[in-house]
């Protein structure tokens, strides 16, 4: 690594990265059913003993996969997600009122995260406009004779993302469908920590292949690899 590359000082350890997460913080964790979720950061958070987090994630994963591990171990006090059906522990905790769950349709959830990342005041949607539960407590506006719900943007104290490659500046390249919500969350975290499979020298990632610019990434953690067994195996 050259002096220029080292001067960015973004590459760190899991233990140091977890130090930026406070008890009861709001977290975003990338992934879709665990695919694209950062395993080393999730395990590091569990081992830290910190808890009472608000988690923003596409879903609650599975009991032993992805962010579902945090839910299953009682580390989450509130979950904002599109569904929890793949994790029965989450359903049980919600029913027992030990876990608050805010459901947001998947497309709406992604747009709320994007809105938070780019500084918008919210988005206008017509999904659920006639559903009393979905529209409860939400502002309505009319545009060109059509009524919309105002969905508020989402941001986080810390965003955990998972990428295939990074250079020392934090430019990221994701692996196929593991890209999912990661690029959006990378923009929406006050602090963004990227767990990556491979760190390459500056210039090794073609600019046309950069999926998240390093300007959004604060810290980079080398991954120890996925350590769970997928449900289809």
Q: Would you give per-residue pLDDT tens digits along the chain (233 residues)?
A: 554 555 578 999 999 999 999 999 999 999 999 999 999 999 999 999 999 999 999 999 999 999 999 999 999 999 999 999 999 999 999 999 999 999 999 999 999 999 999 999 999 999 988 888 788 889 999 999 999 999 999 999 999 999 999 999 999 999 999 999 999 999 999 999 999 999 999 999 999 999 999 999 999 999 999 998 887 77
The CA distance from 196 to 224, in Å, is: 9
Residue 20's nearest CA partner among 153, 160, 119 is: 160
Q: The whole model's pTM is what?
A: 0.94
Residue 180's nearest CA partner among 22, 25, 38 is: 38
The CA distance from 201 to 196, in Å, is: 14
Residue 231's nearest CA partner among 31, 29, 30, 34 is: 34
Residue 205's nearest CA partner among 178, 172, 156 is: 172
């Amino acid at each position: 690594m050259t002096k220029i590359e080292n001067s960015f000082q973004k590459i760190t350890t899991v233990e140091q990265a977890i130090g930026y997460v406070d008890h009861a913080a709001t977290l975003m964790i990338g992934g879709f059913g665990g695919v694209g979720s950062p395993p080393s950061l999730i395990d590091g958070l569990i081992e830290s003993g910190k808890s009472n987090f608000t988690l923003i994630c596409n879903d609650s994963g599975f009991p032993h996969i992805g962010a579902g591990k945090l839910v299953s171990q009682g580390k989450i006090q509130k979950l904002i997600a599109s569904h929890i059906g793949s994790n029965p522990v989450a359903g049980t905790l919600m029913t027992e009122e030990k876990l608050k769950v805010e459901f947001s349709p998947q497309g709406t959830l992604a747009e709320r995260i994007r809105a938070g990342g780019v500084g918008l005041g919210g988005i206008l949607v017509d999904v659920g406009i006639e559903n009393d539960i979905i529209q409860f407590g939400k502002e309505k506006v009319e545009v060109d004779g059509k009524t919309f719900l105002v969905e508020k943007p989402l941001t986080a104290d810390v965003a955990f993302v998972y990428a295939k490659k990074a250079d020392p500046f934090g430019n990221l390249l994701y692996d196929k469908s593991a890209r999912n919500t990661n690029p959006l969350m990378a923009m929406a975290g006050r602090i963004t920590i990227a767990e990556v499979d491979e760190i390459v020298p500056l210039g090794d990632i073609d600019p046309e292949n950069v999926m998240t610019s390093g300007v959004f990434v604060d810290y980079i953690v080398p991954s120890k690899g996925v350590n769970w067994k997928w449900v289809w195996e």
